[in-house]
């Protein structure tokens, strides 16, 4: 019990000494506000550091546009070049189920039949397997199936040529490797 009281006394003395060291006496010692003002005045009296030199401006070669007399490439002149004849999608043809999916999102998973009566089995993104034979449309570019083989489906898509016409582009869907 005596050691406990001794340790308490030592603890109180240590706390008192610590608090006495933290505080300052009003009658003794320098004024901290005066030191702060002196330090601020010294910092303001220092010369400013030198500035970095300005970057050198790069000189660009001038170019004079001299094609004002030539035909405007953005005019309507190109729109009539191939717009008249050639393949076109039929706007009156009813869309088939497989035309709502992109061609690269469909997988050929097998075939049914033999020889010329071959029917392809295609798994669409909706996880339904569809039967595909020549003449069926699939893909979002008016792709018409032209042939069905045991390892692939061949079709022809109609894509815009950028000048108001349409181009036929061959495409295929290969049998998915397991």
More confident residue, 33 or 89: 89
The CA-atom distances, in angstroms, between 7 and each of 18, 19, 20 are 16, 18, 20
Q: How does pLDDT run across 127-166, given as a tens digit for each residue? A: 999 999 999 999 999 999 999 999 999 999 999 888 788 8
Q: How does pLDDT run across 69-95, given as a tens digit for each residue? A: 888 777 765 555 545 567 888 889 999
Instruction: Give the integer Cα–Cα distance in Å for 64 and 48.
Output: 47
Radius of gyration of the chain (CA): 44
Q: Specify the pLDDT at position 82.
A: 47
What is the phi/psi pair of residue 80, to 5°? -95, 0
Instruction: Tell whether the model's pLDDT for residue 65 goes beyond 60.
Output: yes
Q: Specify the pLDDT at position 24.
A: 55
């Amino acid at each position: 019990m005596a050691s406990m009281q001794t340790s308490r006394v030592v603890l109180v003395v240590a706390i008192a000494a610590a608090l006495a060291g933290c505080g300052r006496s009003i009658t003794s010692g320098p004024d901290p506000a005066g030191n702060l003002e002196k330090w601020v005045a010294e910092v303001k009296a220092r010369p400013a550091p030198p500035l970095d030199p300005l970057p050198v401006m790069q000189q660009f070669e001038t170019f004079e546009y001299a094609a004002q007399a030539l035909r405007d490439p953005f005019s309507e002149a190109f729109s009539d070049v191939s717009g008249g004849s050639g393949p076109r999608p039929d706007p009156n043809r009813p869309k088939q189920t497989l035309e709502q999916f992109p061609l690269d999102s469909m997988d050929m998973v097998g075939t049914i039949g033999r020889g010329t009566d071959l029917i392809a089995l295609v798994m669409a993104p909706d996880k339904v397997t569809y039967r595909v034979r020549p003449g069926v449309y699939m893909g979002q570019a008016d792709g018409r199936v032209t042939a069905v083989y045991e390892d692939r489906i061949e079709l022809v898509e109609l894509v815009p040529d950028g000048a108001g016409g349409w181009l036929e582009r061959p495409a295929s869907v290969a049998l998915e490797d397991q």
